[in-house]
Amino acid sequence: MSSPLTERASEPLDGGIPHGDPATAWARRKLNYQLVSPLNRRKFRVIVVGTGLAGAGCAAALGELGYSVVVYTFHDAARRAHSVAAQGGINAARAKKVDNDSLERFVKDTVKGGDFRGREADCFRLGEESVRVIDHMDAIGAPFAREYGGELRTRSFGGVQVSRTYYTRGQTGQQLQVAASRALQRQVGAGSVDLRTHREMLDLIVKDGRAQGVVCRNLYTGEIEAETAHAVVLCTGGYGNVYFRSTLAHNSNVTAAWRAHKRGAYFASPSFIQFHPTALPVSSHWQSKTTLMSESLRNDGRIWVPARAGDDRPPHEIPEGERDYYLERKYPAYGNLSPRDISSRAAREQIEAGHGVGPLKNSVYLDFRDALDRLGKPTIKERYGNLFAMYFDATGEDPYTQPMRIAPGAHFAMGGLWSDYDMMTSVPGLFVGGEAGWGYHGANRLGANSLLSACVDGWFTLPFSVPNFLASHLGAEALSLDDAAVRTTVDDVTARTGRLLSIGGTRGADSFHRRLGDILYTGCGVSRTVSGLETALAEIRSLRSEFWSDLRVPGTGRQLNQELERAGRVADYLEMAELMCLDALDRDESCGAHFREDHQTEGGEAQRDDENWAFVSAWEHVPGTAEHPGKPVRHTEPLSFEAVPLQTRNYT
């Protein structure tokens, strides 16, 4: 039954998962894929948007195979993509440690960690290909840490009890991105990849129900450019910056995915947002973002707060017996490596109960005192030296001599464009990879699975599934740039840009973005209530009306204009935020990072409703006006679990 705010589709979505054992689904699917012969591959053009680990890997792999690839990035170089920021490590089910790890245990941890709101078959593919990812990235130059005898070294991450995370000190994302960018540049040099920098995708060209190109803005000149292709792949990252203060780089945004959504691509689980428990706390109102301290620090750091509420003594003056190591107390089996959603909620509970520390009483301690005594400063410096240096630069405090202060911060988007098992969206010919998609993570991502999922998508999934789609279009020419569908899409982008420039209000886009972030942190943050979400929804709609009547964008669209860039992105965030709140209101349960206070156990844990909500919500856009959107339609993809039976998450 529909609500006053949304509609419901009657037929369930088909995720295209091969029938049978989910453990062998990927092998069977690949065997049945259509192939494109080497002599025909150069006849196909593929557009890849984004050059992070998913985009760079996909473009490099397709280029190596012989396809003609056009790659867009709004950065000045491919290696600047935001994958560099995921520093802690990358998981793999290689089971090199003698700690009883296995592919099956990897899948169990991932499915359970996502609170049974992701596809089981996807998790098997993630684990199966993880072995190839580590070997591949090692081969192309990622300098993984090694044991004395030469074996690759691992460490643990949240939500698991084994050591399966491969790392390069605290620089894993950066080093993997450098290696992937080199592979991409090799194909640029070979002529199979055309890399176009300083371009931001602003729309998707759709004709005959199929994605056939993109429209971009040259961020230097302001020129609107169109390009057509036989298939489009979006690898444009997540949308955590909708909260304004997040751990993401300030330029990370939702625009490419959102514009594709408005052209027909369903958006899955938009309210599933992860709050990272190991971010630096906000220290003043003028901050534009938060800073992420890697989850790897929780291997050796112990998290605690003063046992007495309101205790404002310096940490070194609080004796051991007056400290509450609350994660170790509440979740003894996992302790400080409890999953991110649980750890973030636990920190928020302590802060709101008056146990917060720091000048604003909005953080908890992450203390390395015991690890330094046990292992010595050289070992800790070897493992986390750059992270400690980054903390000192950001705060002026030395974590070797006093505890770090951390707090939950908006981080990773488990939601994204819905795609089937082949990673194709509801728009034929439009594929999605990395954080821009919804796959693998369910309602909560386990640490060190983000770099893995991006690499699996880019190197070992899309290069198989995209050719399967292309094989059916052999002999078809890419759409002409003079086609009416291309001209209409360019005109739409030009008109939207003109409208943003012509409002002539009094406030810049950042002021609206900051207010939106405050609304979302309060109403659709670490925990949610029905009344809070309804209030947030009303405030977002009011703010959206203000935006379209009082926005000020100086300059023109025919030049470098970063205020215009921000305005377009904030306009999309205002629409996105509304769908997030609608999705959170609609999902009448708690699961993973979606914590509804009206659905919790006696112990304060998330309470799922598997009988009524074991499905993925995939939202269809319904056009409205800029200020007043139409009622979105919810499609559902039922989820089933064979290898990992439905169970209550228990980390005690």
Are β-strands 210-218 and 430-432 bridged in parallel, bridged antiparallel, or unpaired? unpaired
3-state secondary structure of 13: coil
- The residues pairing with 226 across neighbouring beta strands, listed in sequence order, are 215
Q: Which of 632, 503, 649, 651 is nearest to 564 (CA)?
A: 503
Q: Is 340 a catalytic residue?
A: yes
Phi and psi, residue 168, nearest 5°: -125, 80
Q: 3-state SS of 35-73?
A: CCCHHHHCCCEEEEECCCHHHHHHHHHHHHHCCEEEEEC
444 three-class SS: coil
Phi first, then psi, for residue 482 (nearest 5°) are -90, 0
Q: How far is CA 651 from CA 165, 447, 519, in A?
A: 19, 15, 32
Burial class (CB in 10 A: 0-12, 13-18, 19+), 631: middle
Integer Cα distance of 620 and 624 in angstroms: 13
Q: How far is it, in rounded angstroms, from Cα 618 to Cα 621? A: 10
Q: Which of 155, 340, 345, 569 is catalytic?
A: 340
User: How many CA atoms are closer than 13 Å to the CA of 291, on its beta-carbon side?
Assistant: 15
Q: Residue holding tokens 């990673």?
A: 423
Question: Is residue 456 a contact partner of residue 126, using CB atoms and an 8 Å limit?
Answer: yes
Which residue's structure tokens are 């680990």? Answer: 53
Which residue is associated with the tokens 């190839």? 132
Strand bridging mode 633-638 / 7-8:
parallel
Phi-psi region of 504 (alpha: psi -120 to 50; beta: other; left: phi over 0): left
Cα angle 93-98-101, degrees, rounded to a multiple of 5: 30
Nearest to 387 by CA among 279, 314, 304, 284: 279
Report the distance separating Cα 297 and Cα 367, nearest Å: 10
**How many other C-beta atoms are found inside a 10 Å radius of the C-beta of residue 543?**
17
Cβ neighbors of 640 (< 8 A, separation 6 or more) are 120, 614
Long-range contacts of 329-336 (CB under 8 A, 24+ apart): 330/652, 331/651, 331/652, 332/652, 333/161, 333/651, 333/652, 334/158, 334/159, 334/161, 334/651, 336/298, 336/301, 336/302, 336/303
Q: Residue 441 has what DSSP assignment?
A: -
Buried/exposed 580-591: b ≥16 CB within 10 Å, e otherwise: bbbbbbbbebbb
Beta pairing class for 430-432 and 231-234: parallel
Cβ 247 vs Cβ 292: under 8 Å: yes
Specify the amino acid at residue 436: A
Query: Which residues are identified as catalytic?
Result: 340
